Structure 1
Amino acid sequence: MYRDKESRESIRQRWATADVPGYMRAEVAPLVPLIPRAAKLVALDIGANKGFWSKAFLKSFPGAVSHIYMIDPSPENVSELENKKDNLIFSPEDFRLLSAHNFAAGATNGAATLYTNEDGSPLGSLYPHKVSGQAGANMGVILDTKISTAVKTVDDFIAEQGISHVDIMKMDTEGHEFDILTGSIQALKNQKIDCLFWEFGMHQVESRHFFIDFYEYLNDLNYDLYFIKNGAAQIIKKYSYAYENFTTNFNFAATRRSAVPEWFSEEKYLSDHPDVKASVEAKTIPSGLHHWLHYGRNEGRRLRR
């Protein structure tokens, strides 16, 4: 894909000016209040494709990223992710913070088939699709190309790589997200992953997963869940059938309840929220931090980073 010089220049310009900024607004900005650490951030970009989300993350946290592990089952995508001479998204300076890994994350180690319309397409899935394509410009696309891929659990991957802590694990795998969480159980139990971000919607029809599966699994592991809407993370206080929507794709996030932002400022928080300041002064709550952990972030209150 994008092999001739003219098309590469055109696509590079479009991705830099439209696609990556779009990812920054829609998929990274809502996560800023949910990521506790201020520096040395480690991310897993599962379903990395060409690296849109990873680049958006780098640009959103300049100077704060330690490493991004980009995982994708497509050989073509990994080839592009590793292309240091003529990359479509990343600058030469970005590569010291990046690594690409050619496998599919899943519930168990093994092998699987990637179904796609062509190697490198954003429409790759580990599930055969009975209905062609998806919404909008991709309607009618048939996933009739099969590519063999290795499957590895996140638990095994982070052990192999010697990763002690993950600040954000992003999953965009066309319906395979719950299997990835299943293969991350030890990391989640041991509080090694602070924040999760994933896509849910039409592709869960093929995988036969419901949102209640995510809600119960993560809630039991001491995570709060959020619905990403209009560029903000809205706390999900209670499960509702309304989230079982398979007409398109939606974004969700989760964060450990006990995770305290390193960059939290008691002074700024009380200044931004006079009602909380009044409660602290009246000694009805012990501190602004107490309010943020137990009430504020669930109410969607903003923090100044």
Structure 2
Amino acid sequence: MSDRPADIRVHDFREVDTGLSAAEAIAEAERCLQCKKPLCIKGCPVCIDIPAFIREIADGNFPGAARALKEQNMLPAICGRVCPQETQCEGVCILGNKETPIRIGALERFVADWERGNGPELPEVAKPTGKRVAVVGSGPAGLTAAAELARAGHAVTIFESLHEAGGVLTYGIPAFRLPKDVVKAEIDQVLALGARLKKNHLAGRSVSTDELLGYDAVFLATGAGLPAFMCIPGENLNGVYSANEFLTRVNLMHADAFPAFDTPVLHAARV
């Protein structure tokens, strides 16, 4: 795994980290001790069977590794890139006591990227239950809930207020950290499980409260999209952006491509 050269990446918003090769992934996976009491699973918020998917990588069985990952997580390419593994699964890896812990996030990303390039395999979906669930918001929480509900056989409808799905994955994290084609591919897999997506639907307006309450259940995943201001003079002046607005302009409104798109974010020298 390496980064693209700085003198090249400074000219674009493409992903900085190039990821692991197959040989590097296998070599890294072979370092895993396959602990009898794996602390890494406890360190994972969604309890992925980490030793299982790493064992499949070590054996060269990348499809099997992808299946093991998706038993608990339908967003592995995203999580492999942006989850804080250093304080979660990798932070409790026993190898970290004396050497470098297993690069679990890098391995998760490798498997997800390999599968995306070789044809994703969807997990099994239960028989329809006849239950309808509304999910308000299509960020990471909403997508995860929608995936699990769809796999359980429920009819899921996701309502997204913006014109693109993904929430903070789409408008908040820069493309050089999390490419938008990666986000779209994993959203498409959630929809392939049977979930429906309605963009430009603002809960309470585009879709009424009464309509939402007509579902058997409603999952509110509205996120934390409001910025925290510092309450200092001048922060409300034109040209002063909150971090949220700045990132939204870049990610959804192509501010990085000014003047092709009229949503400029001015480029300074060194910051």
Q: TM-score, normalised by structure 2?
A: 0.29
Q: As a proportion of its length, which structure holds more strand?
A: 1
Q: As a proportion of its length, which structure holds more helix?
A: 2
